[in-house]
Structure 1
């Protein structure tokens, strides 16, 4: 099962109710502009330990592929900041074994950065391609040991259809990994503030679980990585990224007050907002 979502404190719940009241009947807030999305995303990740936890976990799982080439399809690869960490670790821990890495990324600027980032690892046993398109339109004509959606399933219109299509791209014994945020403290804000995506609302872990059930696909495992993000130091632009909307000035104070209320002390004594991610894994078609 996905991570259990803790009950917010009375103060946090009241602040969230206040935000709901402020937004009731209002026009949707503007969404994030593609041109600044990658920049604000990178700045957000600098304040979070989640990306490192994801990279370490996925590398550990890929290390279980005992012999032969290793092939990965990364759907929504972005600029490759996560993928390059995974590919570098594979090359280092599996010397001499061919590594095939394919990305799918609809934004051409990000796809170009993905190619450049992966190319910096050198050629050798690594081969890399990227398709600049959506997953539904990607001309993928090969199969993979792993197909993964890392925080990219949010942008899929029909989750069940995407999950089935992804499983068809797996080699025998291959695995589909879907990493998605639960409806926890931070994403309670997204639920209240983020505008709808092009054709649907925001998806969270419970939506992905339901899509697997509706598609009659057995989930082999759900792992929760408990990350934290330091939003006390976030700029206005990074705060907007965190809630997936361009906030108006009157909303910034209440949003920051809510984030303060849901923060917990980290090992260094500084407040952090819980920032978990759930990973669903399932095998391909037999």
Structure 2
């Protein structure tokens, strides 16, 4: 049975977080990350994490369960397509000749352009891919899909319940809605304290998503967790800023790094890594 007595590092982390919360109380919001640097810093962050590989393997298995016939996927917040290209390539290779349609929705044109280019570079005749430059709220989609996927993108929507209803309506009967989102764990406790508000709301974490599914009456097939780790101790300031979703001031960097040290655990290489889990919500449209 796990002890409920806090470890010294847990106590230190809690104290450091309280200090950061006190330092930010009443202060002006920190600068937000800008779209051009966001994509670059995101890529640098992912290189220090094993999460993307875990997500790719998990979603590839789920896509394989949808059958060997024609398949269509809507990826909301597809970014530069790094994850989706890997999934699309796997789908094409798994069943030669199977038509695969892949549609992305991405609000920043720079990342959307990379998504299109990377999909085209696969050179697969069976694959048709396109991207709509828009937020999900503003996107106009007049077709349904076997799978509608949000990977780390539902944090930013204004209305969770409306988003889930719209997303499920874009799923074909028998298809699935997948929402991958982070819990408010050690790393995102910093985001709660430091990230500027988004359209007058904070970022939504897994507990918010679970509550929104319940409120909409959408029945979940399952909720599972992928336990990932990210190595932040040697990371540069830009990666640190991405981790907390804000441009940190110089005086905040030291306590933020101290907090991350306190919540770190040994990775497979013996070096300190920050727990970086992601929850997977799955709902089938009946």
Please report the TM-score for the alignment, with normalisation by the length of structure 2.
Answer: 0.96
- Deviation string 1:11-51 (CA, Å, 9 cap, x unpaired) is 11111111111111111111101121100000000000000
Q: Which runs of 4+ in 1 moved over 3 A?
A: none
How many Å separate the matches in 1 of 2:32 and 2:222? 33
Q: Does 1:228 align with 2:229?
A: yes
For 1:251-262, list aligned pairs within 5 A. 251-262=252-263
Structure 2 counterpart SS, 1:234: coil
- Deviation string 1:116-141 (CA, Å, 9 cap, x unpaired) is 01111113110001111111121211
Q: CA deviation at 1:94?
A: 1.8
Q: CA deviation at 1:154?
A: 1.0
Please report the TM-score for the alignment, with normalisation by the length of structure 1.
Answer: 0.96
Q: CA deviation at 1:281?
A: 0.5
Structure 1 counterpart SS, 2:233: helix
Partner of 2:68: 67
Partner of 2:215: 214
Q: Does 1:184 align with 2:185?
A: yes
Structure 2 counterpart SS, 1:15: helix
Q: CA deviation at 1:95?
A: 1.5
Q: CA deviation at 1:200?
A: 1.3
Unpaired runs of 5+ in structure 1?
A: 1-5
CA contact (8 A) 2:147 2:175 kept: yes
Unpaired runs of 5+ in structure 2?
A: 1-5
Structure 2 counterpart SS, 1:129: strand
For 1:135-214, list aligned pairs within 5 A. 135-214=136-215
For 1:114-125, list aligned pairs within 5 A. 114-125=115-126
Partner of 1:3: none
Partner of 1:15: 16
How many Å separate the matches in 2 of 1:60 and 1:153? 22
Q: Does 1:85 align with 2:86?
A: yes
How many Å separate the matches in 1 of 2:230 and 2:253? 18
How many Å separate the matches in 2 of 1:72 and 1:163? 16
How many Å separate the matches in 2 of 1:202 and 1:106? 17
Instruction: Count how many residue pairs are aligned between Structure 1 and Structure 2.
Output: 280
How many Å separate the matches in 2 of 1:205 and 1:260? 24
How many Å separate the matches in 2 of 1:146 and 1:190? 29
Partner of 2:41: 40
Q: Does 1:57 align with 2:58?
A: yes
How many Å separate the matches in 1 of 2:253 and 2:23? 12
Q: CA deviation at 1:66?
A: 1.9
How many Å separate the matches in 2 of 1:237 and 1:35? 13
Partner of 1:238: 239
Q: Does 1:267 align with 2:268?
A: yes
How many Å separate the matches in 2 of 1:251 and 1:199? 24
